[in-house]
A and B are shown apart, each in its own frame.
Chain A
């Protein structure tokens, strides 16, 4: 009984993770400039991987593999956002201006 609940739950998490990865992929293609694309990609990076890895952990049960997956998850949570930050920061320092909408005039001192 317990096993089936975990199976369903892990299946649900995997599908949800797959959905967010897909959304991130669509976002990377559809978004207009680098910064919004990074934003879309980070959905894949954090939410997608978190859901998928949690789903896999539930699937594997109480085993060594679970801890390995947990280690991967922690590692990705540390490095993913940092690499997004590094990318965005380097682009900004390199002189790439973010595209701003017409109705939305750039405010002073706004972080991008």
Chain B
């Protein structure tokens, strides 16, 4: 039964992917992309990867669709018509697709216990997590503790990406005036004239934030953690910005504060590692944070996930604001 559902969703994924490529209207394409992400999220859920599914649904279907909209508002929604078919990239892609297709036959079957992925380090993680860290969600244990270095790297990547997007979008063409201050003013106003949207949106925002907090701080027991919680929290702030306009959004979450929080989140993660070193352990070795190593792990994961959540939230919101508030030239 579950295989049948998986087959249907995977087919729909393929349909959505083809539709994304075929759509000439970029607005339509980004909508298809959102559908694609939602289908992928349900696929991840079928594979029992609830943490990934949550993040994919929040980031792929939610935040990135909004960011695409923001980018389209700056560029325009028609794809440039290309009459010439470029054969070389086509051939490369064809060969690559064929190689991947052939490679799928060499893959172990889904759920095969003898598959290399289940033989390597996974049994160790599953065995040791209850002893060393004592939390039910092994994914959080791996993400924040066993493989804490990787996660630190991811946070720094997100932080750097945010800085990159901000510096690109704050670029101002020399000697050119923004095309229409009217359009910018409309953006600043948001959808304040839609009473229904505002009322219902305001009902949704606190629930969304509450859910984000649950995902953030309950991530040791249920699916979730800093990344998905950050995306959800950012979605709530973006929704507020869309409903109430950029003015009030900037008043609620000033740019300066967000920039500092983004830096603080990444610094918090690193400094937890440094404190561990000062207390005589290795970098990000939470055992030394508390006399009882299990409690130490608990605090370490809590702090690190908090840092991740802060950075992800603020970077996503800042990128959204940068798109939404940029005048067109």
Contact = CB atoms under 8 A, between A and B. Distances in A.
Interface of A: 75, 78-79, 82, 85-86, 89
A92 B207 CA distance: 30
A78 B200 contact: yes
A78 B207 CA distance: 12
A79 B200 contact: yes
Nearest to A82: B200
A89 B204 contact: no
A82 B200 CA distance: 8
B23 interface: no
Contacts of B196: 82, 85-86
A30 to B, nearest CB: 20
A61 B304 CA distance: 39
A27 B176 CA distance: 50
A85 B197 CA distance: 9
Contacts of B203: 78
A82 B204 CA distance: 12
Interface of B: 194, 196-197, 200, 203-204, 207
- Interface pairs A-B: 4 shortest CB-CB: A82-B200, A78-B200, A86-B197, A85-B196
A75 B201 CA distance: 11
A75 B200 CA distance: 10
7 contacts: A75-B204, A78-B200, A82-B196, A85-B196, A86-B196, A86-B197, A89-B194
Contacts of B197: 82, 85-86
B194 A78 contact: no
B204 A79 contact: yes
A70 B206 CA distance: 18
A82 B203 CA distance: 12
Contacts of B194: 86, 89
Given A79-B204, A89-B194, 14 more contacts: A75-B204, A75-B207, A78-B200, A78-B203, A78-B204, A79-B200, A82-B196, A82-B197, A82-B200, A85-B196, A85-B197, A86-B194, A86-B196, A86-B197
Contacts of B200: 78-79, 82
Contacts of A78: 200, 203-204
Contacts of A79: 200, 204
A89 B203 CA distance: 20
Q: Which of A75, A78, A82, A85 has the most CB of B within 10 A?
A: A82
B58 to A, nearest CB: 15
Contacts of A85: 196-197
A24 B197 CA distance: 24
A89 B191 CA distance: 12
Contacts of A75: 204, 207
Nearest to B197: A86
Contacts of A82: 196-197, 200
B95 to A, nearest CB: 38
A27 B87 CA distance: 41
